[in-house]
């Protein structure tokens, strides 16, 4: 018997979905897809662009992702790219009309800055963040949550939707997770281990050193070749991870940049407040 997801976490990216995955996947009644991003419900031809990153392109291939799920488990998947495509809501509904949809949202200004920091660390962005604050920028655009979520509210019944906040995950993770267990109709008394935290963001103190440690390059290859003669792989990785961590410093979003972002997001935030019936006034504070 082919099985498909009972729930889908649609995003947003840089809002705690990795932590959610780790906590939910511990529950004995839940079975989450091991591939965090499947891209399956992204419309063509956009989906084809993600094939190099493992995009699933056929229903049969999609079904195989869940074939090993325990017989009576509640199945889920996480693809943070889903909520960014307005057509995705209808595509999901057409295939899975009874599926439950979960979205986790974060202060959009902080989310944008976190996204930027990740891409800067990875060497995929070189400009100063201040120069990137405009509506269509790739770090800014995903923060218009109301615009991205409204299709789900038009298509799915309200009791199939669960919108949660990153702040709640940070401040009261057990309360939030138990609320999700209740929404998914599994044992709410199960207590997951929440001690493991996702890697904190930040910017490199020295970007050249950061790229030497994180990207393949002749120097890193040469050093590794020497070290492997007398040092086990585990210790080499520990040393590299420690050096990467020491080179990262926590960086706060500047007041000036935050004010600019709030101006961009203000109308969307006010609409979102009404849509999800949550006080989001803290997102509007400079």
Mutual angle of helices 108-121 and 255-276, in 10-degree steps:
130
Residues 106 and 237 in one domain: no
pLDDT digits (tens, 9 = 90+) for 22-69: 999 999 999 999 998 999 999 998 999 999 999 999 999 999 999 999
In the chain, the number of structural domains is: 2
Q: Specify if 1 maps to a domain.
A: no
Q: Is the pTM of this model over 0.75?
A: yes
Judge whether 75 and 60 are in contact, CB under 8 Å: no
Between 102-111, 193-202, 248-257, the lowest mean confidence (pLDDT) is in 193-202
Residues 245 and 257 in one domain: no
Judge whether 113 and 44 are in contact, CB under 8 Å: no
Residues 260 and 243 in one domain: no
In what side-by-side order are the strands of the sheet with 7-9?
30-32, 74-78, 7-9, 100-105, 161-165
Residues 120 and 219 in one domain: no
Dig out the tokens for 74 from the structure. Answer: 């509640």
Between 228-232, 262-266, 272-276, the lowest mean confidence (pLDDT) is in 228-232
Residues 95 and 169 in one domain: yes
Give the residue numbers spanning the domain of 239.
Answer: 203-249
Residues 163 and 235 in one domain: no
How far is residue 239's CA from residue 78's CA, in Å, rounded to a whole number? 31
Mean pLDDT across 82-95: 94
How far is residue 81's CA from residue 56's CA, in Å, rounded to a whole number? 13
Residue-level pLDDT at 211 = 60
Residues 183 and 223 in one domain: no
How far is residue 243's CA from residue 248's CA, in Å, rounded to a whole number? 9
Residues 29 and 59 in one domain: yes
Nearest-5° angle of CA 64, CA 67, CA 68?
A: 130
Residues 215 and 245 in one domain: yes
3-state secondary structure of 241: helix
Beta partners for residue 248, in sequence order = 204
Judge whether 101 and 95 are in contact, CB under 8 Å: no
How far is residue 120's CA from residue 126's CA, in Å, rounded to a whole number? 6
pLDDT digits (tens, 9 = 90+) for 273-284: 999 999 999 999
Residues 280 and 244 in one domain: no
Residues 82 and 221 in one domain: no
Residue-level pLDDT at 146 = 97
Residues 59 and 144 in one domain: yes
């Amino acid at each position: 018997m082919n099985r498909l997801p009972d729930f889908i976490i649609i995003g947003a990216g840089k809002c705690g979905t990795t932590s959610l995955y780790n906590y939910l996947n511990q529950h004995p009644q839940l079975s989450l897809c091991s591939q965090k991003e499947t891209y399956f419900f992204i419309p063509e031809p956009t989906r084809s662009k993600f094939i190099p990153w493992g995009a699933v392109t056929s229903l049969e291939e999609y079904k195989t992702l869940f074939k090993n799920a325990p017989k009576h488990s509640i199945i889920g998947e996480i693809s943070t790219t889903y909520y960014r495509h307005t057509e995705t809501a209808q595509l999901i509904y057409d295939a899975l009309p009874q599926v439950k949809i979960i979205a986790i949202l974060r202060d959009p200004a902080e989310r944008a800055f976190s996204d930027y920091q990740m891409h800067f660390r990875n060497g995929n962005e070189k400009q100063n963040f201040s120069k990137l604050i405009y509506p269509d920028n790739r770090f800014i655009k995903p923060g218009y949550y109301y615009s991205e979520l409204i299709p789900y509210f038009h298509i799915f019944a309200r009791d199939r939707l669960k919108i949660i906040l990153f702040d709640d995950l940070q401040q009261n993770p057990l309360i939030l997770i138990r609320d999700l267990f209740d929404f998914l109709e599994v044992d709410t008394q199960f207590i997951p281990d929440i001690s493991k935290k996702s890697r904190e963001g930040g910017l490199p103190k020295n970007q050249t050193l950061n790229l030497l440690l994180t990207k393949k390059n002749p120097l890193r290859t040469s050093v590794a070749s020497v070290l492997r003669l007398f040092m086990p792989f585990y210790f080499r990785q520990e040393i590299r991870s420690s050096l990467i961590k020491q080179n990262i410093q926590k960086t706060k979003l500047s007041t000036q940049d935050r004010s600019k972002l709030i101006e961009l997001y203000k109308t969307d935030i006010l609409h979102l407040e009404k849509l999800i019936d949550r006080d989001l006034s803290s997102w509007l504070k400079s």
